[in-house]
Amino acid sequence: MTDDDVVETRDPDDGTTTTGDGGVEVDEFGVARLGTDAAAAAALLDEASAGRRVDPAEDLASAGTLATVLYRIRRVLDVFPTITGGIAQVLVIVVFFFGLFNVVTRYLSKTLDTDLIVAQAFEGQTMLFGFLCCLGMNYGMREGVNPRVDFWWAEFSDRRKALIDVVFHVLLFLPFCWMAIKVNWDPVLNSLGRKFDGTWPEGWQVWKSWEVSPDAGGLPRAPVRVGILVAFVLFFLQTIAEIAKNALILMGHKTLAGLVERDAPLRVDA
């Protein structure tokens, strides 16, 4: 079919024209429009729900010193959840295969009446799951997946949300993280082998002095305890990043805050 053979149909109600060869729908001004089929509507909803981030270059050029400093702080601290979130996603796959192995060996042991269960695999699955949760805490905070009262929170303006977050981050999150770091500091060092008199074992094989799980075939607990401490340190840093982000929103610099603009709700109720 040539261009001359294309049949066009025009809707008298909205002035749109659709080409007979299934081409792009255009309006009366020749501007392409998205079709009304289900697939196109779903694609539009996905694109809108995913949100878009505005380029902060223009806003940064006109921002003051304080806003620039807050922006730099946010940008630097937001690197950590990107790294830890990626590691946590990989560990999810590892934990899945650990769990699959444990399930298969458990049922085979019953079927074959032979002990095929590996105690270290059960212990490793539990520890890795806890470790990935620790690594994912700051990532979840940055992405805003922490629970909120949606029907109450969603109606607030960006400035009101930012004000609430700043107040509660300063009054609750920062003290909580600091307390958690302080409480876990000595137990982590003791788990790594520090003696009661404050000295450390000699030699380079440090893992021999680590705390070990009392369960059968138990693995060292020290790495997981270190992970808990690291998680709260990262959580503390991400709280600072969130305070900087919300302060930028209160100052009127939404683009510097990395605020996602959405054209559609995240949840659509049928």
Beta strands in 44-176 (DSSP E): 52-53
Domain that holds residue 29: 1-35
Q: What is the DSSP string of 184-227?
A: HHHHHHHHTT--TTS----SS-GGGGS-B-SSTTPPBSHHHHHH
Q: What value does the CA radius of gyration of the chain take, rounded to a whole number of Å?
A: 27
27 & 63 share domain = no
Query: Are 31 and 100 members of one domain?
Result: no
pLDDT number for residue 46: 52
* Predicted TM-score (pTM) of this structure: 0.70
Look at residue 264 and tell me if it is in a domain: no
Q: Is position 269 within any domain?
A: no
pLDDT the model gives residue 106: 86
| 72: in domain | yes
For residue 267, being part of any structural domain is answered with: no
Contacts of 24 (CB under 8 A, 6+ apart): 32, 33
Q: What's phi and psi for 230, nearest 5 deg?
A: -65, -40
Domain count, the chain: 2
Distance of CA 267 to the CA centre of its chain: 18
Per-residue pLDDT of the chain (270 residues; tens, 9 = 90+): 444 444 444 544 444 454 444 444 544 444 444 444 555 555 544 544 444 444 566 567 677 888 889 999 999 999 999 999 999 999 999 999 999 998 898 888 888 877 777 888 888 888 899 888 888 889 988 888 777 766 677 788 889 989 999 999 999 999 999 999 999 999 999 998 888 888 888 888 888 888 888 877 778 888 889 999 999 999 999 999 999 999 999 988 888 888 765 544 445 444
